[in-house]
Amino acid sequence: MKVIRAKSAGFCWGVERAIDTARQYADHGKRVVYTDGPLIHNSQMMEKLEGEGIREVGDYESQAALKLDMSTDRDRNAVIVVRAHGISPERRAYLKSLGLEFRDGTCPDVGIIAGKIKLFARKGYHTVIFGDPKHPEVMGLMGYTEGRGFVVKSEKDIDALPENIGEKVCMVSQTTMFTFDFKSLGAHLKRRFPNAEVVDTICGATKERQSDIPNLKSEGAEAVVVIGGRHSANTVKLAKLVEMEGMPCYHVETAAELDFAHMKTHYKVVGVTAGASTPGFLIDEVCDRLRAL
């Protein structure tokens, strides 16, 4: 079987940076590293990291208090690493108050968005964030709005924004959203608030992954396997894009979920892509097994 592997498949640089930061301080298991919630949205990679002394504490939303035993050398000497999705200023202050060595693994692209929101908020702006209100990246970014933030996912949400938010309105996006949706909603916001500042903050890695889907189709892919966690926002959107292109989509976390007998009898050319949190070893396994058919 011919396999076309998307050039963008696998870790983005922000995820790779967060993992490298955690690994550096774990030093091959010599020191415990705690991450506030999952460092990245891939359970297989998190299991691998746990074997290296990198352990997830807290909760998915980075809101729960961390249960540490400071009477032990392990916890007193531990390092706390902020995950790639970032956290709110309040959460940052809490983590630093624990007395552990603190390291920031926030994706620089997310940090740039936080900085933009902070600057606008200081000028009295209300911030509209296009994204999932329950996603940790969005929850962290909301902390920079100085209480004047709104999360939207549709034109209906924009129509529901209060009229009294005034002329000072800015709009940004969660890094992993669809670019065409952001443009459409940005235009809709400006129709309602003509002076709104709309800043495209969808990251380059996301845009590259999204553009790779029609490229796979043009190169002859009859179906596409999308590899990545089911809680990974960018992976879920890749799967949706495949379906929008009219191709059969197989969203899996590992090769074990694929029906290779079915693939063999139905396709001669298959495209493979993966989310920004999907490690290379999972992509390699899927590609190798498909090529062997």
> Tens of pLDDT along 195-205?
999 999 999 99
Mean pLDDT taken over the chain: 95
Residues belonging to the active site: 137
Q: Give the C-alpha separation, 33 to 96, whole Å.
A: 14
How many residues are listed for the chain in this entry?
293
The reported pLDDT for the residue numbered 231 is 85
Task: Please check the confidence at residue 71 and state whether its pLDDT lies above 90.
Answer: no
Residue range 182-235, pLDDT digits in tens: 999 999 999 999 999 999 999 999 999 999 999 999 999 999 999 999 888 899
Q: What is the pLDDT of residue 158?
A: 97
Q: Which helix (H) or strand (E) holds 183?
A: helix 179-192
Cβ neighbours for 226, distance < 8 A, ≥ 6 positions apart: 235, 238, 239, 242, 249, 250, 251, 252, 273, 274, 275
User: Which tokens in the block code for residue 270?
Assistant: 């298959």
What digits encode the pLDDT tens for the residues 231-261? 888 999 999 999 999 999 999 999 999 999 9
3-state secondary structure 247-264: CCEEEECCHHHCCHHHHH
Of 280, 284, 290, nearest in space to 48 by CA: 280
**Structural domains in the chain plus CATH codes:** 2-10+204-291 (3.40.1010.20), 13-105 (3.40.50.11270), 109-198 (3.40.1010.20)
- pLDDT confidence band for 41 (50 / 70 / 90): confident
Residue whose entry in the numeric block shows the structure tokens 């994706």: 107
Sign of the Cα torsion 23, 282, 56, 205 reads positive
- Amino acid in the structure at residue 196: A
Q: Is the pTM of this model over 0.75?
A: yes
